[in-house]
Amino acid sequence: MPSALTTKQAIDVATEHLKELSGHVFDLLTVSKPITPDAAVNLSKVVSKLSPLLGNLIEFNTVEFLNDKDDFRGLGEWRRQDPGFPDTVFDGITPTPGFEIKAWFPLATEITARFKDSQNHFRDDNTYVCMLAWLPEHIIYGKPYILDVVVVSGASVARARDEHYHNPPDYLVLEPENTAARTRNLQQTNTNGYKLQEVSAAALAKAQELIESWGANGSSYSPTADYQTKLRELMGLLPYRLDTNYAKMDRIVHAELEAFKTRVMNTQVHGMTVREWDRLFRASNKWSAALAKATAAKEKAEEQVDLDSVARAEAQEQTAATQLERSDQTVRQVLADRLGITEGDPEQLLE
């Protein structure tokens, strides 16, 4: 064991241990096996609601996992930052190694976690992103199980984000104002994205002239103060709106993260790929939502005594109900075949 670690060594050693989590079961919370097909179908529609809770617990326990490793004993300690960026840092080394840990439940939604920190934050390449894809051991029940892990440089994610989004004058990425003089909790490191609104051809032509005056690389993003001044000048000429969907990690188009997503969705779990499980549950959830929407529309039309709208809503309600029953029946059959969930003993219901 070395008497000290460099920043890169700490990152490299931790990365190897984090990758070992693939296949690991976290004993954090157990969802019991449903004992009837109907209970299983209902559980498949709500299990994703556990994602925020279990995701947070997984992130927290990953820090404990690192601190249990002999490689770090006596050399420092991984510490959770809440709030703060990144999620965990290793005290005792400068520059401070850190990991932003993201848990992803692939049956719930796209990777909605955001990554907005400026490229300026990663000049020392000492902060990395660790993404852990997880599912319950048996798709809809059991303990959380880590399907796969990817660790990538935070600097590379920030760079890929800016290159993907920034496209003046149509879309601008802007750095935060200089807040170094503020106390730490008020300092800003997040970038933001701005989308161009409708403008006249004359205004657009004037903006293009300004961009061309910046030189051959004027459209290429830079986090420097000089380039940011130019972007703010451009914003003074044209109307922009803040993009609230900016920097979702599913949309950054980072090569390693894209490969990770593809690998996870193609992973076989209980005889089907994650993508196939996702499509199975998504169809049922889609028709559940359609039925609820049609029912709400019918009730509103009845209150307004709008008979034509009532008739249309009833037709939509019937269609959604029929499709929902078909989708749910498919889910029941697949869960019976893959997970052995069939009709249980009635006495079990009272246990």
Query: Which tens digits make up the pLDDT trace of 207-255?
Result: 999 999 999 999 999 999 999 999 999 999 999 999 999 999 888 999 9
Residue 350 has pLDDT above 60, yes or no: no
**106 neighbors 61 (Cβ within 8 angstroms):** no
Q: What is the mean pLDDT of residues 184-198?
A: 82
**88 neighbors 78 (Cβ within 8 angstroms):** yes
Q: What is the mean pLDDT of residues 271-276?
A: 96
**252 neighbors 163 (Cβ within 8 angstroms):** no
3-state secondary structure of 224: coil
Q: How confident is the model at residue 263 (pLDDT cuts 50, 70, 90)?
A: very high
Q: Is the pTM of this model over 0.75?
A: yes
Using CA atoms, how far residue 217 sits from 151, 155, 159, in Å, is 31, 21, 16
Residue 172 has pLDDT above 70, yes or no: yes
Phi/psi region, residue 263 (left: phi>0; alpha: psi -120 to 50; beta: rest), is alpha
Compute the distance between CA of residue 37 and CA of residue 17 in angstroms, rounded to an integer.
Answer: 39
- Res 56: pLDDT: 84
Residue 50 has pLDDT above 90, yes or no: no
* Mean pLDDT, the chain, whole residue set: 90
Residue 189 has pLDDT above 90, yes or no: no
**60 neighbors 80 (Cβ within 8 angstroms):** yes
DSSP 104-157: E-TTT-S---B--B-GGGGTT--EEEEEEEEEETTSSSBSEEEEEEEEEEHHHH
- Res 3: pLDDT: 58
Over residues 120-131, the pLDDT tens digits come to 989 999 999 999
Compute the distance between CA of residue 263 and CA of residue 257 in angstroms, rounded to an integer.
Answer: 10
- Res 235: pLDDT: 95
Compute the distance between CA of residue 156 and CA of residue 128 in angstroms, rounded to an integer.
Answer: 9
Residue 92 has pLDDT above 90, yes or no: no
Using CA atoms, how far residue 80 sits from 53, 92, 321, in Å, is 17, 14, 47
